[in-house]
Amino acid sequence: MPNLWIKHARVIDPAAKRDAIGDVFVADGKIVAALSAVAKKRAKKIDARGLVACPGLVDIHVHFREPGQTHKETIGTGSRAAAAGGFTTVVCMPNTAPVADNAGTIQFIKDAAQRDAVIKVLPTGCITVGQKGQTLAPIGSLRRMGVVAITDDGDCVQSNELMRRACEYAKMFDLPLMDHCQDASLTQGAVMNEGAVSTRLGLRGWPHAAEDIIVARNVILSEYTGAHIHLQHISSKFSVGIIRRAKTRGVRITAEATPHHLAFTDEALAGYDPNFKMNPPLRTEADRRALIAGLRDGTLDCISTDHAPHTDYEKDKEFDYAPNGILGLETALAVSLDVLVRQNKFKLPFVVDLMTRRAAAVMRLPAGTLTAGAAADLCLFDPAEKWRYDAKTGFSKSSNSPWHGQTLTGRVKTTIVDGRVVFNAGKIVER
């Protein structure tokens, strides 16, 4: 593997507070401060003039569907979609078939990632056996197998007592506990946000209180047990307020927002397009603005995609019966740049930070930095390039994206993992 010399880029490395035109050097798969004159002559040179060079993006919330649902996505195809989006590290959710509640399934996922992935794919394990919310999974065994967190994502643990015990074990084994915040008793049959739009469309509403109640529960349990609880895909302005107050007290709570909740509101469902159907649902403009404010002031820690592939024949149904979830990896950077930088005047390094260092810090991953000695995981992108996203020809196995056919601004040009170019000029560079 040749050394790399990335030249003339706008280098943004939030961990080092670096934002300047310059070069990045790679030797033996690691970032180095400089190359010798001889090494520079032999290095592979990448002219990044006009591009941003930043740490590889980190997504701590994706669904790659393997094992058991490979008609939607595989670790191989999901990792390629991630690479095309500039991501070099992702954290996979355990709601596979079978679910990842045991050492054998975790080993299967790790083997598949080693064999098929072009980026770093890290597993999580279930909180409960079968993801059924009744009995704790063998959390110690999952920890020894190398899971980076435990979660029943997709199925919120409804029992407060069981969740308390899960927090105690998570703290004991020094694992973050990620929670999909949903009081199921308030969402039976619900398909979109409860409000004026759901009434107009004649669709059963999903109250924000279903999220707020569990967010408050988790704040209480985190404060009570000392466990680190990460709140997934926050969508409600009331939840943002609960989290903000908890953080002022030093509670070990972190939280994420998704690009789709930042970009859209429930008004997008006026055409009954199931590609705008997700869990939690798109909410109001006031909720959307609260999420943006939460990212700005640090209440929300990072951006995650909740990449959730479904086949066309699964999504192409009456709105009530279509599954929740959309693709997110290939469009996340462009959408985040549009909403946060262009529309809301965030500084570009701050948005890069949300998608690199801060995301990695939530899960304590060795990623998100270009400091010397770090793994040479990089994303090179053109923040001004316009391009048309075609989900049908994307790298995911599925195409359920609300951005299909739209022109986006900000395009990933090259993705590098451990010093190896894995995506370049619109194509995956196979080993």
Residues 6+ apart with CB under 8 A from 15: 55, 356, 357, 368, 369, 370, 371
How far, CA to CA in Å, does 290 sit from each of 4, 339, 386, 411? Answer: 42, 13, 28, 27
The whole-angstrom separation of Cα 45 and Cα 292 is 38
The whole-angstrom separation of Cα 87 and Cα 356 is 9
Q: What's the pLDDT tens digit per position in 341-372?
A: 999 999 999 999 999 999 999 999 999 999 99
- Please, where are the H alpha helices in 19-159? 37-42, 75-84, 103-116, 139-144
Query: What confidence tier does 431 reach under pLDDT thresholds 50, 70, 90?
Result: confident
**Which one-letter DSSP state was computed for residue 156?**
-
What is the CB neighbour count within 10 angstroms for residue 310? 26
Query: What confidence tier does 152 reach under pLDDT thresholds 50, 70, 90?
Result: very high
Handedness of CA 183, 186, 188, 193 (dihedral sign): negative
The whole-angstrom separation of Cα 197 and Cα 111 is 46
Average pLDDT of the segment spanning 6-24: 98
Asked about 155 being catalytic, the answer comes back as no
pLDDT surpasses 90 at 169:
yes
The whole-angstrom separation of Cα 184 and Cα 416 is 41
Give the closest residue to 413 by CA, choosing from 378, 380, 376.
Answer: 380
Fold of 56-363: TIM Barrel (3.20.20)
Please answer whether residues 131 and 150 qualify as being in contact, where contact means their C-beta atoms are separated by less than 8 angstroms. Answer: no
pLDDT surpasses 90 at 165:
yes
| Ramachandran angles phi, psi of 351, nearest 5° | -70, -40
List 155, 306, 353, 377, catalytic entry: 306
Q: What's the pLDDT tens digit per position in 294-314?
A: 999 999 999 999 999 999 999
What the block records as the tokens of 386 is 């316009």
Please answer whether residues 420 and 30 qualify as being in contact, where contact means their C-beta atoms are separated by less than 8 angstroms. Answer: no
Average pLDDT of the segment spanning 375-395: 98
The reported pLDDT for the residue numbered 430 is 87
Task: Count each helix (H run) and each strand (E run) in the chain, helices first.
Answer: 14, 19
Give the closest residue to 255 by CA, choosing from 61, 87, 65.
Answer: 61
Please answer whether residues 295 and 344 qualify as being in contact, where contact means their C-beta atoms are separated by less than 8 angstroms. Answer: no
Q: What's the pLDDT tens digit per position in 237-264?
A: 999 999 999 999 999 999 999 999 999 9
The owner of tokens 């894995």 is 422
Average pLDDT of the segment spanning 191-201: 98
Domain boundaries, the chain: 56-363
The whole-angstrom separation of Cα 203 and Cα 219 is 31
What is the CB neighbour count within 10 angstroms for residue 204? 14
The owner of tokens 């029943």 is 152
pLDDT surpasses 90 at 234:
yes
Which of helix, strand or coil describes residue 374? coil
What's the mean per-residue pLDDT of the chain?
A: 98
What is the CB neighbour count within 10 angstroms for residue 315? 20
What is the percentage of the chain residues whose pLDDT exceeds 70? Answer: 100
Average pLDDT of the segment spanning 180-201: 98
What the block records as the tokens of 407 is 């022109």
Q: What's the pLDDT tens digit per position in 387-408?
A: 999 999 999 999 999 999 999 9
Q: What's the pLDDT tens digit per position in 90-132?
A: 999 999 999 999 999 999 999 999 999 999 999 999 999 999 9
Q: Whole-structure pTM over 0.85, yes or no?
A: yes
pLDDT surpasses 90 at 54:
yes
The reported pLDDT for the residue numbered 278 is 98
Q: Where in 127-180 does DSSP place strands (E)? A: 150-151, 177-179
What is the percentage of the chain residues whose pLDDT exceeds 90? Answer: 99
The whole-angstrom separation of Cα 229 and Cα 254 is 7
Query: What confidence tier does 1 reach under pLDDT thresholds 50, 70, 90?
Result: confident
What the block records as the tokens of 110 is 């790790």
The reported pLDDT for the residue numbered 350 is 98
